[in-house]
Amino acid sequence: MMRFLVIEGNIGAGKTTLSKMLAKEYNAKLILEQFADNPFLPKFYDNQERYSFPLELSFLADRYNQIKHELLNLDLFHSFLVADYYFAKSSIFAQNTLKDDEYHLFRQIFDMVFDSVPKPDLYVYLHANTNQLLRNIEKRGRSYEQNIQPGYLEKIQNGYFTFFKQNLTFPILVIDTTGIDFVNNYQHYRLIKEAVFNSDYKLGINRLILK
């Protein structure tokens, strides 16, 4: 029985859009990352070296508090919970933005709370190539994202896959969505739905290429 579903992906992968679509269709409680309210994010994209540590700490606290609160308060009116991020995202991004000494301190704080965070029944990662991510980022038009470089997206992607290889506590479904348009093509959306809800997956990494 699905109780907690995570939809993740790199910047511009479409994780929030897919989370909203699934939540609406299946009457799931929706958790969206509140990044737009973070005062450090625009500053970070202008000056990563100065603002990376306060940004990552603030995300760490926000993600922990939101996930714990929402899962503890899952009501009878929703069939399950779907989130467009998971708590481990904090460590993945921090590893690529913080200096070594800052990341060491950050990781100590992260490790103290990670085991107490509920684990998803299924973690779905939408994988798209860098060119597609950049097109999606440009299309949605957030001004503070327009200077994101391909190398940064590749580092984030590598961080996700390093995390996947180290995790055996819940099933991870990596779906290759390069060339897939699940927003405007219902057949593509249906294929993703069937992959998420109609299959059982082993703990650790499971891979799927949609055709």
Kindly list the catalytic residues. 84
CA distance 18 to 132: 16
DSSP one-letter code for 143: G
Q: Which of 185, 176, 183 is nearest to 209 (CA)?
A: 176
What is the CB-side half-sphere exposure of residue 137 using CA atoms within 13 A?
A: 20
DSSP one-letter code for 206: E
Collapsed DSSP state (helix, strand, coil) of residue 125: strand
The beta-strand segments (E) located in the chain are 4-9, 29-31, 81-83, 122-127, 171-176, 204-209
Crossing angle for the helix pair 100-114 and 89-97, nearest 10 degrees? 170
